[in-house]
Amino acid sequence: MKEYALAFLAGVWLADGLSLLIVPRPLIDRFREIALSTPGLFRWQALTAAAGIALLVLGFDLAYRPLWILTGMGMVAKGLFLWLGPIALRERMIEWCATREDVDYRLWGLGLCTLAVLLLHALGWIGHL
């Protein structure tokens, strides 16, 4: 069960990363529109925090342990900030993030794809003959 939960997380990272690599501008424009018009959407960030905790706990005995610890802590921090943070600060942060150049989004997408591949490798799903 542990492997499937972490593989699901890797799949989410891979899908998000590929989306940012292929069509960053339409994706981010849509995100900004939804984020600023639907503030209740951010209660779902509790799932990001929960996924970060799951990564911390379930990924503790995997290869690349420091990476999973840092990534899990980052996910928890981001999820809690977007879920419970001050609305004005959250809106400024979203606006700043949504006005980056396309190359910035592509770099984030490449990072997410890298995390996905490393997690699948640590699980033994890829890279072993």
Helices (H), 23-101: 24-37, 45-58, 65-84, 87-98
Rg (CA), the chain: 15
pLDDT for res 16: 96
- CB atoms < 10 A from the CB of 88, how many? 8
pLDDT for res 39: 73
What is the average per-residue pLDDT within 36-61? Answer: 91
- The whole-angstrom separation of Cα 48 and Cα 77 is 9
Share of the chain above pLDDT 90, in %: 77
What is the average per-residue pLDDT within 3-10? Answer: 96
What is the average per-residue pLDDT within 78-85? Answer: 93
Tens of pLDDT, residues 94-123 = 889 889 999 999 999 999 999 999 999 999
What is the average per-residue pLDDT within 18-39? Answer: 90
Residue 128 pLDDT greater than 80, yes or no: no
Residue 129 pLDDT greater than 60, yes or no: no
pTM: 0.91
